[in-house]
Each structure stands twice: as structure tokens, then as C-alpha cells.
Amino acid sequence: MNRKVNLIKNLDWITIMLYAILVFLGWINIYAAVYNEDHQSIFDATQRYGKQLIWIGAAFFIAIIVLTIESKFYSAFAYPTLILMVLLLLAVLVFGVKVNGARSWFQFGSIRFQPAEFAKFATNLAIARYLSQYNFKIHRIKSLFITGLILFTPAVLILLQNDTGSALVYSVFILVLYREGLSGFVLFLALLAAIFFVFTLIYSSFAVAILIVAIAAISLKMIGVQTKQIIIALTILAGSFGTLWLINKGADLKLGNFSLSFVAILLNAIPFLIYTYRQKIKKAALILALVIGSLFYTFSVSYIFDTVLEPHQQQRINELLGIKSDPYGAGYNVNQSKIAIGSGGFNGKGFLNGTQTKFNFVPEQSTDFIFCTVGEEWGFLGSALVLILHLSLILRLVFLAERQRSSFSRIYGYGVAAILFFHIAVNVGMTIGLAPVIGIPLPFFSYGGSSLWSFTILLFIFLRLDANRLELLR
Amino acid sequence: MNNFSNRRFIIGGIFAFVILVFLIRLFNLQIVNDQYKLSAESNSQRRVTQYAARGLIYDRNGELLVYNQAAYDLMIIPRQVKTFDTLDFSNLLGIDKEDIIKRIKKAKRHSRYRSSIFMKQISSERYAVLQEKLYKYPGFFVQTRTLRKYPHQNAAHTLGYLGEVNDRHIKKDKYYSQGDYIGKSGIENTYEKILRGAKGLKVYWVDVYNRIKGSFNDGDLDKNAVEGKNITTTLDINLQEYGERLMQNKKGGIVAIDPKTGEILVKLSSPGYDPEMFVGRAMSKNYRKLANNDTLRPLFDRSMMAKYPPGSIFKLVQALVGLQEGLITPTTRIPCRGAYYAGRFKMGCHHHKSPLDLKQSIQHSCNTYYAQIFREILDAPRFSSINEGYTNWRKHITSFGFGAKLGTDLPNELTGFIPKASYHAKVNKTQNWKSLNIVSMAIGQGPLLITPLQMANMVACIANRGHYYIPHIVKSVGDNESIDPKFLKKQQTTINPEYFDPVIEGMDLVVHGGEGSTGRSSAIKDIRVCGKTGTVQNPHGDDHSVYVAFAPKDDPKIAIVVYVENGVWGARYGAPISGLMIEKYLKGEISENKKYLEKRMLEADLISPKEETISNNHE
């Protein structure tokens, strides 16, 4: 009895309130999105909004169950849970049914269940468990390997189900790792990689090569190399590039500018190393290595884009970056989505008055594109409110995570915040044309039991851990 | 372990930054940028135009000339099309499978989501069958349109035709949108705004499949179509039809006016065409066919757009100006020795007795008579210069409606050409040019150009003894709404009424003067016809025959001009056709004794190659 009172007292009711508000808003927006004159009752269980209410009710019970379980259980059973999920992910590859091209669903009668959704909290538990080990050092090879194993196993299995969106979620754990001591340099490299990727596609690999050289020049300046020396180095590089360009032209070798610049840099690498070694410029070698590495990466971007990505993924990225636009083809969804949101104006068209979403101009309006209904019917005010509620929840989670005594709880909390963030960023970003079209749900909003329950479990495990924040979990 | 806890700010910052970027983006999408609101409207509203029935057109006796007939356009929305039995479909429409596929492709190019025309103007028989089976072909529907229909095959030039609007029309008048029809010529053109009525609009909500989901805003934006008003023209379709028959196989034009009102009774250009040719699908093909007919130029409305030198009929006006200027009296006699001589200048005339007084000069169309009085008019002592004298003459001439647009209610009216004094100064390269330089104008030759409509108006002026009403084609609009008041206003010439009688007497003699009267063949039993023949020299072939007349002499009810290209001389075709037209109009039928004349006129063929030789060279 006393424990129960304590539990209720120790629960973070602010988070629960935010959760409840978001779930409620999600429900009425699903109602608006698939509103049907023949089934006006929001409780009509033959319609998605009626069903969503059932899922919400179930989520409530799930939350209670999650909260009543002893918090030690979660750390103790972190690994077995993950193993179970991995087995389910394997099983779904064999026994699953295909929905929208992804073999990621189990079907029991009329009920479908998506293990990928539940793999998230399982992975999060396992990561929290592994990283919170006594004397854990993240930069050890073994640590990185096992961390990678925990993250990549479910991600790859989900990728095999052809559910790219859910697989990409695991990339967000880099933020958790960063919080736990991963070098900021890795984060910076990841950022650079993203920038180079986009630049290579929008402009050309040669443009990126110039960018890389420019960044290298600035880096050299920052480590104390004289401007004069940098200018000489750049002149030599430009000179060798020019010579190569003429040879290429003369001999008709048909090499691209990027290849020429690559060769020019490689040719100058040895003299550069010898010179900098003699001048005792220590980090120059590192910068050179990064330049060459970046060039290799840039070179492979086009290759990855052309061979690894599937045509529809290429189209979506082309569409996003504005390289190719086809508002009635690959860009149809995003274009319609932007029209729906844009037509909402400042305060929206009003509840149930949306036209773009209601008349099916926007695809997947109750699941992946649910934010369109918010944007159209509630306008800028409503969409800003939803985003701010989500941000508040995430920041609240960060705050809660930081107050944990046990690293397990903290790491898990960061995981929850990061996963929610990734979903919001990609889902909303997609609807407003800032992210490629990747089908992942908007937490608490998108229609569907699996995602709602998975987010509920994810969140309430943390709330359970937080209620025991003073305990030290191992 | 907590030595990295400051990183929460970086991580929290990343979260907040992304959301901030989203908020800015949303602000831009939802508040700054209007484009999405507009797209949303065009996305989800279907504006269905309610086409107004176009006004009908009647003749002066209430005979229907133009009405509407329903036509059916088969529309397609490619996105909704499901696989279907092409064989059955091609049988229904009478086109082959390849054609169907081609048309679907074309529609897809236009838009997958919006409707476009799959097949234009399906006949009502096909439509009846199609309608029953259309449910089998989702994505197809039929849109009803109206086409013009003509009970009479006459007056095509006057009635005009409809065509699809082009970009220029749309730019000029917001009322039109792509695919609308507009009057391109004739009455359809000048009375477009009255005939078209007002389109209505129904706005529906549609879903992504273009299925109607209900009325938009409870019909707030809906507008009912307003039917176009009917028009009663001044045309007498029976007379028009008769005129067209008389003119068959001849090039030329007829204009007949009721001088008391300026109402155009007949206006025809021959060869004409069946107005039905410019309706619907066949239009562009027929149009090209007619437009490319260089020799006959059936699209060319000779009654209004042909400019001819008036020839001898112009002598009537010259006589009136001479009388008004006091230079001659009805009894002034001028001798003629078979030609007009002035120094070494000679202008030929033809055989007639001499000297002639005014009315005889009209009867015999004496060139000498008019050369002399024209020069006297120009060189009258009260003028200080030839320019002044000529300008005075020109004032009189233009008061008959020559040299400027009359202002009728038909499009494409031409001004004709009555040169100004400066023109002659320029041609003769001196301000001091001589009346002799332009003496050919005395007999309606030289640079003068006049349209048949203007000629008819001149006859009306004479019949009215000095005034006219602007010729017009519409008698009333809608339920007897009055027409433009300018058509009811008397237009006065500069000639006093009393001077008309001697000229009219001359015209009487042209018809009833016995021997040497060129207009005998226009005479009608019991009706006093006054006329005047003319011949216009044609450098390209046989001269043109022209005849003007009005009747009855004392109570004129019809003024007419008949112009027959290559008709050789006025007496030959112009006069008999005029006489038949007048008789038909005033009596309703042709008397027995003129049947042979009617037959000859109907059979005369000036277009097909001919062998007949012309013996009689007299005028």
C-alpha cells in the first residue's frame, strides 16, 4: 500500500499530462482525418477513430502494467527482452505479412502487430544496460563493437523487412552515445558526412572536393600554419590540378574534374607530409588523412546513391533536395501534404473543415501524414502547439534523465527522448518537405495500436524508472 | 560518470533547434505563402459551369433563323478509368482501338486528375446508346453543350458563326474561359453579350477521385445561368432566300433596305455557304476548305467588305450636288457629241440624243453631262481654290454616308474611299491641281470606292428625299426592348428635299422611259420602280454590273442594290434581279409575265466557264 502511494507520488505527472494531451489530440485528429458523414460518432468502433479509442484504452492498461512492474525487472531483463525481440524480428521475416511493401507485420485474425515498433524499447533497454555497466569505457574497441551489435542487429533485421524508416530510427542513438561520452568529433563527422552527401547530390562531387580543400585550409590555419604557407600549398595544388587538366584534355583521357582533383591531392600528399614533418606541424597528417577520407566518401556517395538506394528512395531524395521535381509523380505526396498544411493559414479551417485531408488528397492521412490534418484544420497555431507540446515532452525527458542517480535510467531516458525526437523530426519534416518521405509514425498521433503501445511502453518504463530515481540500478 | 552532463544542453539544443526550424517553415507555409491556399482550392473544388442557352435569332416576320441543339461531349478523368472492353467501347463511339488509346494518352498528358474532352460532339443517336452503357466505363462522363442549328441555309454571312474563344478573348473579357464559344462574325459577334446571356456556376466539393462530395458552402457561390436574349432581325428570310437563289452561280452582293427605317431586309454575298458548315466538329475542316477557295472567296462578305468604284449610279448624287449648288436646274440642257471634250482631253460617252436635260441625262447616263457639272461644282467662282471647291463637294458626298463607316450593327464594316482634297494634291503633285485631273470621278470612276451597303444607303437617301436611317440588322432584342437609339435618328443629307424629285424622275425614266431605258427589265406591273444602272470597269475581266432601285416611287418601301461581278453591264443582271426582288417583297410573288425573266436569272451562270459572246454593248 505504502509503495503504491509512493509510486503515485513519485511519478512525473507533468510527463503523463503531456502524454495524455498528445494522445487525446491525436485521437481527435484521426477522427477529423477520416471523418465520415455516415459514421459521425467518434466512438464508432468500425472506423479508425473508434478503433484508436480502443487502442488508447488498451494503452492505458499497458501503462498501468508497465508501472506496476518492479523497476529492477527492466534492467535485469534488458538482454532477454532484446533477444526475444530479435527472434520476433526474425520470425516476422518468415511468417509476416506484407503491408505497403514491408514484410513487418504478424497477422492474428483481424489484428496486426508490428514487432519493429517494440524492438525500439527493447534495444533502448539493452543499450542502457550495456552502457551503464560498471567501468564502461565507450572508446574501447570492444565497447564500440558490442554497442554496434546491439544497435545494428535489430536495425538490419528491420531493414530486411523493407521498413527503412523504422531501421533508420536506430541512428538516433548516436545522441545517446554522445551524452555518454562519445567524442563530439564523431558527431561533427556525422554532420559533415550529411553535408557532403547533400552537396554531392545537389551540386557535384567536384564542388564538394573544393569544399573539402577549403575546410582543410581553414583547419590548417586553425592549428597555426601561416597564411603564406597555406597559400603556397593551395597554389601548388591548383597548379598540379591545372597541369592534370591539360594532360587530360590533351590526351583525351575523359577523366572527370573530381578524379583529377583527387589525383592532384594524392600526388602532393607525400611532399606535403615531408614538408609538414620537417616543419613539425603535427596535426597536418591528420588533416590530410581526413581530406583523403572525405574524398573517398564523396566518391562513394554517388555510388551508394545509384546502387544501394532503391529507385523510389532516390526519387524521394531528389524530390526533397529539389533536384528533380514531379508534383504528380514521386513528389505527389509531399506536394499534397504541403498544400494541405499551407492552406490551413494562421488559425486553420476549423475542426472537421479540412478539405485536402478529408477528400483524400493527402495520402496515409491518419497514419504517416496525420500532421497534415493538424496543419489544415488548426493552422499555424495548432501545428505550433503540437510541436511545442512534443518538444516540451522531449525536453522534460532530458530533464528527468539528468536527475537519475542510476546511469541505466539516465541512458534509457535519453534513449526515449532521442527516439521520440527522431520520429517527430522525420515525420513532421516529411510533411512539410524538409525530410525525405520515410514512413514512420508521429508519436501518439498516428493511427495504429502497435505504434501507440510501443511509445507508451517506451515512455512509461522510463516513468517507472524515474519514480525510483533515487535507487541505484545495476 | 556525470562529467558529460553538460552535453544535455547540446542535445537539448539540437532538439529545440530542429523544432524551431520546423516552426519557421510552418510559418512560411501557412502564413507567408498564399500559393498553397490557392492550390488547395483548385484541388478540392469542382466548378461546374452552367452554360446558358444562347439567345435565338428570328427574322422580321418571326421566322426562326437560329436555334440551339444539344450536343454531347464525352469527358474523361484518366485517373478514374479502369480497364475496360475496348472493343465494345470502340463500337459505341465508332472509333478504333488505337484511336481510343491515343485519346486516353492525350487526356493523361493534360491531367490525370482533371477532366478533359475525350470526344467532342457525339451525335444524339450515339449518345442515346452510350448513356445506357456508360456505367461500365468509370472515368467517363458526358457533358452537354449546345450547338447552333439553322432551319434556313441562308444569310450565313449576316448571322455569323461561333467559335471557341482564344487567349486574346479571354484576356480581354474575364467572362470567358477556355473552351467557351464566342460569336466570331455577323450578328453572333456584334450581339454577343445579348445572345450569350450569363454563365452560371455550381461549386462542388470533390475528393481526390474528383467525386462530388456535396455543394460547396451550401451553394453560397452558386450562380444560376441566365439565358441569352432572343433577337429579332430586320431580315426578311424569304426575300433573302429568293435573292440567294437568284444570285446562285454568280459572284456579287445584294443589299435591300427599308428606307423608312434603315432596316436591312436582305444582305447577301454570293457565293455564300451553308451556316451549318460552321457548327461543331466539321467547322475547322470546312473553314479551311472555304477559306482556301481563292476564286470564289465564299467567306468574303461582299455586301459589306467589297469596295467597288460606284460607276454610273454615282451620277445620281452628282446631279443632286449640282442642283443644291445652284449650278443646274432640272431644265438645264447640255449637249453631248458622243464624248466629253476639254482641250485635248476626251472622255467617251455613248449614243443618245442630244442635248439632254437632267432627267434624260440620268435615263441615258450621259457622261458628258456629269463631267461638265462636276467640273462646274469644283470650279465654281465662289471658291478661291480647287481645294475649297472640292472640299465643298466632298461634304455633300459624305453626307450620304460615303467615305466613312455608317455605324451599322454588323462587324467588319468598311469605310470605302472618298479621297480628300489633299489626296489629289499629292497625286497631282501640286496644290493647284485642276478639276480636269479628276473628271473620271464625275461618273463614279477613278479612286472612288464604295461598299454595296453604302450604295443601298444612298438609294434610301434618294427614296426618302434627303435623309436616311443608319442601316441596321436588329429590329428588337428580347421582349421588344428597343435597339440602339442611334438607329432611330434621322440622318440628314446636305441636299434640300425639293432637289430629289427631278433625280427621281430621271430614275423613273430609266425604268419606264421606253427606248434607251436601261432599267426596263426591272419594271413591275402596278408598281412604280425607280432605278439606275451602272457598269464598273474591271481590268481583270468582264465589267461588273450594278443596279440600284427603289419602289414604289411615291411611297418607297424598299431600296436595293444588286451587284453582279462580271455581269457586264447594269441592265443585264442587276436590273432584272432588282425587279424580281422588289416584286417578291412588295407582292409576295412573281407575276406570270416575268417568270421567263426569273428563270433566266436563276439559270444564269457567270462562274462556270462560258462561251456566250456579248453582242449588245449598249448602256
Cβ neighbours of A175 in B, within 8 Å: 11, 14
Q: pLDDT band for B578, please (50, 70, 90 cuts).
A: very high
pLDDT at B261 over 90: yes
- Tally of CB atoms within 10 A around B427: 13
pLDDT at B217 over 70: no
Can you read off the three cell numbers belonging to residue B451? Answer: 461598299
Q: What is the pLDDT of residue A12?
A: 92
Q: What is the pLDDT of residue B132?
A: 81
Q: Cβ B207–A384 below 8 Å, yes or no?
A: no
Cα distances (Å, whole numbers) of residue B432 to B66, B99, B429, B592: 56, 73, 9, 59
Cβ neighbours of B31 in A, within 8 Å: 345-346, 380
Q: Cβ B30–A345 below 8 Å, yes or no?
A: yes
Cα separation of B569 and B533, whole Å? 8
pLDDT at A94 over 60: yes
Q: Which of A175, A418, A432 is closest, CB to CB, to B29?
A: A432
Restricting to A residues 392-451, those with a Cβ less than 8 Å away from any Cβ of B are 394-395, 398, 401-402, 407, 414, 417-418, 421, 424-425, 428-429, 432-434
Highest mean pLDDT among B29-38, B80-89, B97-106: B97-106
Q: Check residues A82 and A317 and name the one with the higher pLDDT.
A: A82
Across the range A80-98, mean pLDDT stands at: 90
Span B488-540, pLDDT tens digits: 999 999 999 999 999 999 999 999 987 777 888 888 988 999 999 988 777 77
Cα separation of A401 and A168, whole Å? 23
Span B105-115, pLDDT tens digits: 888 887 776 67
ω into residue B271 within 30 of 0, thus cis?
yes
Mean pLDDT of chain B: 86
| Chain A / chain B CB contacts < 8 angstroms | 120
Cβ neighbours of A341 in B, within 8 Å: 26, 29-30, 36
Q: Which of B14, B31, B44 is closest, CB to CB, to A356?
A: B44
From B451, B470, B450, B474, select the one nearest B460 (Cα to Cα): B470
Q: pLDDT band for A360, please (50, 70, 90 cuts).
A: low
Q: What is the pLDDT of residue B226?
A: 86
pLDDT at B603 over 50: yes
Mean pLDDT of chain A: 86
Q: What is the pLDDT of residue B81?
A: 80
Cβ neighbours of B6 in A, within 8 Å: none
pLDDT at B612 over 60: no
Test mutation, B1, B9, B24, B30, chain A, max A CBs within 10 A: B30
Highest mean pLDDT among A252-256, A379-383, B51-55, B277-281: A379-383
Q: Check residues B167 and B452 and name the one with the higher pLDDT.
A: B452
Q: Which of B10, B16, B37 is closest, CB to CB, to A345?
A: B37
Contacts of A337 (CB under 8 A, 6+ apart): A362, A369, A372, A430, A431, A432, A433
Q: Do residues A414 and A124 make contact, with C-beta atoms less than 8 angstroms apart?
A: no
From A9, A48, A100, select the one nearest A445 (Cα to Cα): A48
Q: Check residues B206 and B353 and name the one with the higher pLDDT.
A: B353
Cα separation of B236 and B242, whole Å? 10
Per DSSP, the three-state class of B66 is strand
Give CATH superfamily name and number for B47-76+87-109+116-130+139-233.
Penicillin-binding protein 2a (Domain 2) (3.90.1310.10)
Long-range CB contacts (within 8 A, 24+) of B82-87: B82/B138, B82/B139, B84/B136, B84/B137, B85/B136
Q: Do residues B43 and A339 make contact, with C-beta atoms less than 8 angstroms apart?
A: yes
The answer, for B404 touching chain A at a CB cutoff of 8 Å, is no
Q: What is the pLDDT of residue B613?
A: 41
From A444, A453, A447, A416, select the one nearest A59 (Cα to Cα): A453
Across the range A42-47, mean pLDDT stands at: 77
Contacts of B615 (CB under 8 A, 6+ apart): none
Q: Cβ B29–A361 below 8 Å, yes or no?
A: no
Q: pLDDT band for A352, please (50, 70, 90 cuts).
A: confident
Q: pLDDT band for A135, please (50, 70, 90 cuts).
A: confident
Q: What is the pLDDT of residue A326?
A: 60
Residue whose C-alpha cell reads 522534460 in the numeric block: A396
Q: Cβ B36–A414 below 8 Å, yes or no?
A: no
Span B588-600, pLDDT tens digits: 989 888 899 899 8
Span A399-443, pLDDT tens digits: 999 999 899 999 999 999 999 999 999 999 988 888 888 888 999
Can you read off the three cell numbers belonging to residue A370? Answer: 496525420
Span B57-77, pLDDT tens digits: 999 999 999 998 888 888 887
pLDDT at A276 over 90: no
Q: Which of A391, A407, A433 is closest, CB to CB, to B1?
A: A407
Cα separation of A409 and A401, whole Å? 7
Cβ neighbours of B36 in A, within 8 Å: 338-339, 341-343
Span B160-169, pLDDT tens digits: 998 888 888 8
Across the range B79-94, mean pLDDT stands at: 82
Can you read off the three cell numbers belonging to residue B529? Answer: 420602280
The answer, for A178 touching chain B at a CB cutoff of 8 Å, is yes
- The DSSP symbol for A103 reads E
Position B262: which residue type? G
Q: What is the pLDDT of residue B420?
A: 92
Cβ neighbours of A388 in B, within 8 Å: 19
Percentage of chain B modeled with pLDDT above 90:
41
Q: pLDDT band for B619, please (50, 70, 90 cuts).
A: very low
Please report, for chain A, how many H helices and E strands are present, in that order.
19, 3
- The DSSP symbol for B228 reads P
How would you label B504-527 residue by residue, b for 16+ Cβ within 10 Å and e otherwise? bbbbbbbbbbeebbbbbbbbbeee
Cα separation of B496 and B461, whole Å? 11
Q: pLDDT band for B202, please (50, 70, 90 cuts).
A: confident
Sketch the domain layout of chain B as residue ranges.
47-76+87-109+116-130+139-233, 237-279+303-571+582-603
pLDDT at B279 over 70: yes
Q: Cβ A434–B22 below 8 Å, yes or no?
A: yes
pLDDT at B615 over 50: no
Cα distances (Å, whole numbers) of residue A363 to A143, A359, A360, B208: 43, 10, 6, 10
The answer, for B212 touching chain A at a CB cutoff of 8 Å, is no
Q: Which CATH topology does B237-279+303-571+582-603 take?
A: Beta-lactamase (3.40.710)
Q: What is the pLDDT of residue B614?
A: 41
Cα separation of A62 and A66, whole Å? 6
Cβ neighbours of A343 in B, within 8 Å: 36-37, 39-41
pLDDT at B143 over 90: no
Q: pLDDT band for A59, please (50, 70, 90 cuts).
A: very high
The answer, for A185 touching chain B at a CB cutoff of 8 Å, is no
Comparing A167-171, B344-348, B481-485, which segment has the lowest mean pLDDT? B481-485
Q: What is the pLDDT of residue B618?
A: 40
Percentage of chain B modeled with pLDDT above 70:
93
Across the range B233-257, mean pLDDT stands at: 93
Q: What is the pLDDT of residue B394?
A: 95
Cα separation of B596 and B580, whole Å? 11
- The pairing of strands B231-233 and B57-58 is parallel
Cα separation of A178 and B8, whole Å? 10
Cα separation of A243 and B408, whole Å? 82
This complex has an ipTM of 0.87
Q: What is the pLDDT of residue B611?
A: 42
- Tally of CB atoms within 10 A around A191: 10
Q: Check residues B206 and B32 and name the one with the higher pLDDT.
A: B32
